[in-house]
Amino acid sequence: MGSKVLFLDIDGTLVDFRGKMPESAGRALELARERGHKLVLCTGRTRTQLFSWLLAYGFDGLITGAGAQVEADGKLISRHLMEQKKLERAVDYFERIRAPYYLQAVNGIYAPRWCLECRMEVFRGRITEKEREKQFGTVTRDDRPGKRVDVEKIAYYQSAEGVEQVREGLGSYFAVEASSYQLINSSDGEVTIRGINKAYGMQRYLEYAGIAQEDTCAFGDGPNDREMLEFAGIGVAMGNAGEELKGCADFVAAPIDQDGLYRAFETLGVL
């Protein structure tokens, strides 16, 4: 295989849902770089939520906030923030249905007091508070969240309304997907700006780098990885992905806990 750009989701692909990366996945990254491939993180996490130890592997690009921000060679290439009035509408909606929510912004994660007070209940039985902070980062209190102008993405939890209802309630400016984080339940979701997704971020990176779309491979496992796998020259769904995502993939790898990423790299001739 010639030199490729490898776009990699984090949670459920590179790192398990306890924040640990299989040793084989780390080795796969190192070998791929040695063989001249470019490595680009492509994640729903915002920039401040990236693990410092993971960044130490040295990535050629970072696509964060599910496409809202793109960096390459240490430079900011693209950033899309939610319009304040649109954000205010979304905040009002989640306040009305009493679904706890977090605003994933450029420099941190923010939520009003009542959402912070709910967080123990949201994650109870799934993850400890210490693990939650390690996994997602510190959440800062902001009792006027709808006034922010730096928000890239919204995560919400325990909604009484399903994804389709939330889509209808928020309107056409937003895109809504089920949560990509496995430890959370099916009533949780993620909100982004419509049209700003991982595939968009990939396109912006490729334009900057001068690389053709066909020279790409993408690896993912969650609902927000669908556009990424469809856009890539080769789209790979992890074995722990849902059936819908597997149906969009060119190739289905073994699960993350069965050396899925390393074995996929081998199968594709990356190593």
| Domain locations in the chain as residue ranges | 5-79+197-267, 84-193
Better-scored residue on pLDDT, 19 or 49: 49
Whole-number pLDDT of residue 109: 96
| Spatial separation of the C-alpha atoms in residues 75 and 34, rounded to whole Å | 23
State the chain's maximal CA–CA distance in angstroms. Answer: 53
Whole-number pLDDT of residue 187: 82
Q: For residue 54, how many C-alpha atoms fall within 13 Å in the half-sphere facing its CB?
A: 27
Closest C-alpha to 29, from 3, 2, 8: 8
Q: Is the dihedral of CA 106, 108, 113, 118 positive or negative?
A: positive
Asked if pLDDT for residue 70 goes beyond 90, the answer is yes
Of all residues in the chain, the percent with pLDDT exceeding 90 is 85
| Spatial separation of the C-alpha atoms in residues 132 and 190, rounded to whole Å | 17
Closest C-alpha to 42, from 188, 194, 224, 190: 224
Say which residue the tokens 């994650």 belong to: 123
Question: Which string of DSSP letters, residue by residue, matches 191-222?
Answer: EEETT-SHHHHHHHHHHHHT--GGGEEEEE-S
pTM of the full predicted structure?
0.93
| Spatial separation of the C-alpha atoms in residues 271 and 260, rounded to whole Å | 14
Instruction: Indicate the burial class of 114 (C-beta count within 10 angstroms; 0-12, 13-18, 19 or more).
Output: exposed
Confidence at 196, pLDDT banded by 50, 70, 90: very high
| Spatial separation of the C-alpha atoms in residues 132 and 6, rounded to whole Å | 28
Asked if pLDDT for residue 183 goes beyond 60, the answer is no
- The CATH number that domain 5-79+197-267 falls under is 3.40.50.1000
Of all residues in the chain, the percent with pLDDT exceeding 70 is 92
Whole-number pLDDT of residue 123: 65
Asked if pLDDT for residue 122 goes beyond 90, the answer is no
The topology (CATH level 3) of 84-193 is: 3.30.1240
Q: How far is CA 125 from the centre of its chain?
A: 23
Question: What value does the mean pLDDT take over residues 91-102?
Answer: 97
- pLDDT tens for each residue of 216-231: 999 999 999 999 999 9
Better-scored residue on pLDDT, 178 or 217: 217
Question: What value does the mean pLDDT take over residues 26-52?
Answer: 97
Better-scored residue on pLDDT, 133 or 153: 153
Q: Is 111 helix (H, G, I), strand (E, B) or coil?
A: strand
Alpha carbon distance, N-terminus to C-terminus of the chain: 9
Question: What value does the mean pLDDT take over residues 181-204?
Answer: 87
Answer for the pair 79, 69: CB distance below 8 angstroms, yes or no: yes
- What tokens appear for 255 in the block? 């699960």
